[in-house]
């Protein structure tokens, strides 16, 4: 875990911009509920990248270390990963009430972490430009498939969704040179 809050860092300038900033611990529906951490400056970008359809702030902390400590505590009860395959099929659990879940989850925190509970109960909602969600997904791999053809059906999170349930994680291929033709 980050130790910049103790003055320990290989690059304190970087740590000041990234670790020693306000962070949020949040709950997101991606499609099931998950816990996560993001810098204040990354809201709502982080949630959109994960393909969340709803998110709520759970805690506000002055640095990455405290946010990470809260997340580690909550990972005992909630997942911290997005099930990307379910997310890309458009699966949702509409019965999940984030206000209610926030109350329940905050009760799980040890007393010393309660001080960071967020008073902001706003639910952030997101919609994605997807014509049709596939029932099943398979991934494209630019390292194996040099030429890829297909009709783009949507974008969700960091994924492009093509006809036939073929998906491409665009973050995975940062730095690749791609030619698009239409």
Instruction: Return the residue matching tokens 């053809």.
Output: 149
Where is the domain boundary, 89, 107, 125? 125
pLDDT higher than threshold 80 for residue 2: no
Sequence-distant (≥ 6) Cβ neighbours of residue 35 within 8 angstroms: 25, 26, 27, 58, 71, 74, 75, 78, 79, 80, 105
**Could you tell me if 78 and 157 lie in one domain?**
no
Q: Which domain holds residue 82?
A: 4-125
pLDDT higher than threshold 80 for residue 41: yes
**Could you tell me if 88 and 172 lie in one domain?**
no
**Could you tell me if 137 and 158 lie in one domain?**
yes
The pLDDT confidence band at residue 117, using thresholds 50, 70 and 90, is very high
What does the pLDDT average to over 89-105?
A: 93
Structure confidence by residue, pLDDT tens digits, 19-34: 889 999 999 999 899 9
Global pTM value? 0.89
The pLDDT confidence band at residue 18, using thresholds 50, 70 and 90, is confident
């Amino acid at each position: 875990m980050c130790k910049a809050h103790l003055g320990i860092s290989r690059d304190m300038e970087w740590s000041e911009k990234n670790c020693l900033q306000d962070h949020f611990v949040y709950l997101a529906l991606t499609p099931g509920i998950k816990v996560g951490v993001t810098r204040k400056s990354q809201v709502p970008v982080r949630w959109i990248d994960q393909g969340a359809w709803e998110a709520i702030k759970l805690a506000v902390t002055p640095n990455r270390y405290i946010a990470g400590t809260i997340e580690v505590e909550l990972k005992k009860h909630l997942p911290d990963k997005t099930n990307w395959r379910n997310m890309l099929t458009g699966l949702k659990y509409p019965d999940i009430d984030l206000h209610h879940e926030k109350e329940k989850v905050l009760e799980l925190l040890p007393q010393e972490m309660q001080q960071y509970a967020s008073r902001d109960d706003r639910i952030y909602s997101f919609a994605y430009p997807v014509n049709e969600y596939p029932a099943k997904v398979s991934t494209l791999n630019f390292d194996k498939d040099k030429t890829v053809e297909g009709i783009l059906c949507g974008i969700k999170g960091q994924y492009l969704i093509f006809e036939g349930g073929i998906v491409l994680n665009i973050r995975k291929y940062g730095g690749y040179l791609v030619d698009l033709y239409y």
